[in-house]
């Protein structure tokens, strides 16, 4: 359970760094970012709703196709609500400003010899 919570923190921090540094996010987060900017709603709040809708759609499709729900566990449900809240915390509290996010992103990329 501890590893699960730690993974949520790293996921939220990674998404926050990506958004704050104006890097191109993965497709789902890019859609969340576009919705956030268009409707002027905080990214973390839209992320919670988006993840919840995706999980509900996935469960609905599984019920229709397979007759049961597989692969959706407690980690998925906790992630829906936890990651978005953590992103809101990191973004709202200005834990990372834009320049610091860019610096930390580049530092991580250099460490792993990606950049």
What pTM did the predictor assign? Answer: 0.75
Specify the pLDDT at position 89: 87
Mean pLDDT, residues 79-101:
77
Report the pLDDT averaged over residues 71-84: 92
Please give the pLDDT value at position 63.
94
**2-39 per-position pLDDT tens digit:** 899 899 999 998 998 888 877 888 999 999 989 988 99
Print burial letters for 47-84: b (CB count within 10 Å at least 16), e (below 16). bbebbeeeeeeebeeeeeeeeeeeeeeeeeeebbebbb
């Amino acid at each position: 359970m501890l590893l699960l919570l730690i993974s949520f923190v790293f996921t939220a921090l990674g998404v926050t760094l990506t958004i704050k540094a104006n890097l191109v996010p993965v497709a789902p987060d890019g859609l969340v970012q576009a919705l956030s900017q268009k409707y002027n709603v905080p990214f973390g709040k839209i992320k919670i709703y988006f993840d919840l809708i995706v999980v509900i759609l996935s469960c609905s499709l599984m019920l229709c196709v397979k007759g049961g729900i597989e692969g959706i566990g407690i980690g998925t449900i906790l992630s829906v609500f936890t990651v978005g809240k953590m992103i809101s915390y990191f973004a709202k509290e200005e834990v990372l400003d834009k320049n610091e996010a860019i610096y930390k992103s580049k530092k991580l990329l250099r460490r792993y010899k990606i950049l």
